[in-house]
């Protein structure tokens, strides 16, 4: 009888892992160094949004990180780099990661998530007034509209809102 319970538990857990892998969501950042080092100036982006070559380029150019000089000690640099590379879109099995790879040619090395075909496809219909709203400092400030972004949730039903007129917020329906 215990063997049957063990087998049933394994089958159930494998099914849960398969659902998580195929899910359109991103895993929350599971590395404390990434969370602390990368969220000083912006949200710690899920590594599944860029391929390894992009993360490597970003980490190789910390001395000029979007006009800022970043300094991490060697241990933190290696820990962050390893996490980003291990979970990059071209290493991940998540549906969301595969979507971020679509449209990227093998030589493309975007260093901004906002330069990826996926981001452009999902945001092209937003009116310019959204981007000029003072509550959004830059287009990569995902957490302003995607209120559950830190948890890896970016879907239309997962805390999505966009700036509306006169300081209001409104729901955005992506068709």
Domain boundaries, the chain: 29-110, 125-175
For position 29, what pLDDT does the model report? Answer: 93
Contact present, 16 and 55 (Cβ < 8 Å): no
14: pLDDT strictly greater than 60: no
- Show the DSSP H helices in the chain as ranges: 2-22, 32-38, 52-60, 74-86, 95-101, 117-123, 128-132
For position 24, what pLDDT does the model report? Answer: 58
Q: Between these two residues, 158 and 122, which has the higher pLDDT value?
A: 122
17: pLDDT strictly greater than 70: no
Collapsing DSSP states into helix, strand and coil, what is residue 77? helix
Chain position carrying tokens 């160094």: 33
For position 12, what pLDDT does the model report? Answer: 41
Mean of per-residue pLDDT scores for the chain = 84
For 76-93, what is each residue's pLDDT tens digit? 999 999 999 999 999 999
Contact present, 14 and 8 (Cβ < 8 Å): no
Whole-number Å distance between alpha carbons of 103 and 133? 29
What is the pTM (predicted TM-score) of this model?
A: 0.81
């Amino acid at each position: 009888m215990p063997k049957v319970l063990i087998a049933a538990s394994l089958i159930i857990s494998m099914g849960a892992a398969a659902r998580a892998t195929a899910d359109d969501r991103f895993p929350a950042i599971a590395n404390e160094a990434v969370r602390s080092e990368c969220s000083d100036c912006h949200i710690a982006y899920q590594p599944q949004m860029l391929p390894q070559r992009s993360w490597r380029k970003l980490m190789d150019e910390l001395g000029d990180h979007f006009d800022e000089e970043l300094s991490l000690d060697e241990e933190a640099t290696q820990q962050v780099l390893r996490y980003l590379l291990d979970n990059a879109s071209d290493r991940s099995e998540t549906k969301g990661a595969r979507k971020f790879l679509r449209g990227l040619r093998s030589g493309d090395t975007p260093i901004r998530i906002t330069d990826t075909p996926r981001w452009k496809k999902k945001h092209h219909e937003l009116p310019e007034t959204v981007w000029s709203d003072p509550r959004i400092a830059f287009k990569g400030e995902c957490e302003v509209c995607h209120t559950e972004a830190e948890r890896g949730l970016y879907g239309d039903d997962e805390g999505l809102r966009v700036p509306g007129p006169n300081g209001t917020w409104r729901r955005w329906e992506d068709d």
